[in-house]
Amino acid sequence: MALAALRRRISAFFALDVIVSAVVLWTFVFVEGSRRGVKRLWMPIAASLIVGVSLALPLFLYLRETRAEN
């Protein structure tokens, strides 16, 4: 089924866009989170796998800001 979705160019572009966005977000979470000492970095990663980048990025930014306030 996954290979059938990648047969058309627009479907392949969409799939690649989602994958690249997730990988960039994971890199950002690990680099920025480690640099700032953010706890529970697994939460944005799990959120990106379950829901997507649209939940994971705001969740990470929230975790980062609450860490900065403490």
Question: Tens digits of per-residue pLDDT, 7-35?
Answer: 777 777 888 899 999 999 999 999 999 99
Taking the mean position of all CA atoms in its chain, how far away is CA 39? 16
Q: What is the pLDDT of residue 42?
A: 96
Q: What is the pTM of this model?
A: 0.82
Sorted by where each begins, the domain ranges of the chain are: 8-69
Asked whether the beta carbons of 35 and 66 are under 8 A apart, the reply is: no
Q: What is the pLDDT of residue 46?
A: 97
Q: What is the pLDDT of residue 24?
A: 97
Q: What is the pLDDT of residue 1?
A: 58
Q: What is the pLDDT of residue 11?
A: 79
